Amino acid sequence: MAIRQIRKMGDDILSKTCRPVTEMTEKISVLIDDMLETMYDAQGVGLAAPQVGVLRRLVVIDVSTDEDKMEPLIMINPVITESSGADSAQEGCLSVPGKVADVTRPTFVKALYKDRDMNDCEVEAHDLLARCICHELDHLDGHLYVEKAEGPLRDVEAEE
């Protein structure tokens, strides 16, 4: 496993559309492990493949708060099939370090995806996990949360 460099806002790769993962290869498997390590190292709750420079439809998410109980969700070719509700809350992104802004997202989503064994899976997510899934999936189509921000980006320090 290795920590990969996180691409920052302004990098062209973050505005590109990602291609599906067609089969699980050694390369993709290593990418998943590296993305998890990179996300945890950066203390993020989610990371999408384009953020480490790979244009594939793959995200990793972990919204668990207890370091002893890491519960990574690995989503390959994810698609949101249902969503409902709306809530505005603070959001940040590892590609936009030190900044946060309020974004309105659904409070519930249902999504289909493949796990790392390429089995079909479905997740029903509420609140923070729903928000995180929406944020990460936007990355796969070249979108950053800043496009949906309500008001200017704030410095993280200003929140304390």
Binding residues for Ni ion (CB under 5 A): 93
Q: Which is nearer to Ni ion, 22 or 53 (CB)?
A: 53
> Are residues 53 and 7 in contact, defined by beta-carbon separation less than 8 angstroms?
yes
Nearer to Ni ion, 22 or 41 (CB): 41
Cβ-based burial of 55 (10 A; exposed 0-12, middle 13-18, buried ≥19): middle
Nearer to Ni ion, 28 or 93 (CB): 93
Least separation in angstroms between residue 33's CB and Ni ion is 20
Known catalytic residue at 82: no
Looking at beta carbons only, is 25 or 42 nearer to Ni ion?
42
Q: Which position among 23, 26, 91, 136 bears the catalytic label? A: 136
Helix (H) or strand (E) holding 33: helix 26-41
Q: Using H for helix, E for strand and C for coil, what is the string for 57-109?
A: CEEEECCCCCCCCCCCEEEEEEEEEEEECCEEEEECCCCCCCEEEEEEECCEE
Contact of 76 with 97, CB cutoff 8 Å: no
C-beta nearest to Ni ion: residue? 93
| Closest separation in Å from C-beta 139 to Ni ion | 6
Q: Which residues are catalytic?
A: 136
